[in-house]
Amino acid sequence: MHITDRFIKYARIDTQSDENSPQTPSTQKQFNLAKEVEKEAREMGLSDVSLDDYCYFMATLPSNTKKAVPVIGFIAHFDTSPDMSGENVNPRIVKEYDGKEIILNEAKEVVLSPADFPELLNHVGEDIIVTDGTTLLGADDKAGLAEIMTAMQYLIDHPEIEHGKIRIGFTPDEEIGRGADKFDVAKFGAKWAYTMDGSEVGELEYENFNAASARIDIQGRNVHPGYAKDKMINALHVAGELIDLLPENERPETTEGYEGFFHLISMNGTVDEAKISFIIRDHDSRQFEARKQSMVQSVAVLNGKYDNRLRLEMKDQYYNMREKVEPEKQIIDYAFRAMEEVGVKPNIKPIRGGTDGARLSFMGLPCPNIFAGGMNFHGRYEYLPVPSLEKASEVIVKIAELVAKEA
């Protein structure tokens, strides 16, 4: 199966995760894709194929060499983001993109334009997979799934390429921060691994944000507005005050590179009660702790003003993998050289987000991140250049080859 066909097949299967569900997986529909991948793995001849009750998939491509080669792994995730619907995804291929606007949905006037997304112009002349403007595409991370499965098939079909034992693992619920929750590192058995979960072609990442979530419940006091003087406490206004206490220039839309942020992700409620949620991000661990303390202090200020009507729940989600990956520099070197050998210019950069690899690195499996090729993740403007998809799969094959060659 060609990698494009494999990706489109995966993309059509709804696997959206649900952050409000306490179950693992958070949505049972993730099994629909997992079972399809399990079937493919068995048909292509992978061994040790397993899919557990929590929707964690693992399989092995056995070594074809007598050398003592380190066991390496490649990891992706089944779920797509809750940010936009993944139901009834209808991908189409724009052939030899001409550099102009792409009409995704004429009826809804949804247009993918290089004026808004100038990176499109890096892919003029390439075939590009796009949405129909009503859903996300799901390249995050079904591109990663397709790349890994295609690479395994290629290595099976080309036994002349020497490689060691390769483990592949696919997780549920990465998009809601739970992808590594029940990942069995000992069972996986790799010395190191790579997540295929980056964006633009060439990305190679071993630094990511330190991350925390913050949820604030606000209890207001509602009385008839005609008699509210000195009595009413409007929970929605209190929520607005909290937002205003945080730095306006430290939001996702005003930061880049290594700059951290406070990101308001939801706010809902009434006069009587309101709930707001933030995510807090910073690459530097000290600044990360300072950001969390700033949130604590802001809530304390309003509790002093409003008689303890705010309740804060803050949780760390993951940490910067750099301290775990950097001491194992050869892991990055293999990926860097593999990209160069398949004609991709490596672009080492920090992740302004996180991957399963961030948590897995702290669980004993160093796990940097490699590009999957998609752009504009999590929304209707998502697109995936086909050459980027193909190159990512080639990088996987080349890493396996290099590790065996130098064993």
**CA dihedral (75, 81, 85, 91) positive or negative:** negative
Beta bridge partners of 210: 282
Point out the catalytic residue in the list 40, 174, 356, 394: 174
CB 234, CB 376: distance < 8 Å: no
Point out the catalytic residue in the list 14, 79, 282, 401: 79
CB 29, CB 18: distance < 8 Å: no
- DSSP code string of 134-186: SS---HHHHHHHHHHHHHHHHHHH-TTS----EEEEEES-GGGT-TTTT--HH
The SS3 assignment for 83 reads coil
Beta bridge partners of 371: 198
CB 151, CB 6: distance < 8 Å: no
- The H or E element containing residue 390 is helix 386-405
Residue 22, Cβ neighbours under 10 Å: how many?
Answer: 6
Region at 195 (left for phi over 0; alpha for psi -120 to 50; beta for the rest): beta
Residue 126's Cβ-side half-sphere holds a number of Cα atoms within 13 Å equal to: 20
How far apart (Å, rounded) are the C-alpha atoms in residues 180 and 10? 21
Q: Is 79 a catalytic residue?
A: yes
Q: Is 174 a catalytic residue?
A: yes
Of 339, 404, 393, 373, whose CA–CA distance to 150 is shortest? 393
Q: In what order do the strands lie in the sheet with 72-77?
A: 47-51, 57-61, 166-171, 72-77, 192-198, 369-371, 203-205, 347-348
Q: What are phi and psi of 189, to 5 degrees?
A: 75, 20
> Please, what's the b/e burial string for 36-57 (b: 16 or more CB within 10 A of its CB; e: otherwise)?
ebbebbeebebeebebeebbbb
How far apart (Å, rounded) are the C-alpha atoms in residues 332 and 325? 8
Residue 393, Cβ neighbours under 10 Å: how many?
Answer: 26
Q: 35 burial class (0-12, 13-18, 19+ CB within 10 angstroms)?
A: middle
How far apart (Å, rounded) are the C-alpha atoms in residues 201 and 168? 21
Q: Which residues are catalytic?
A: 79, 174
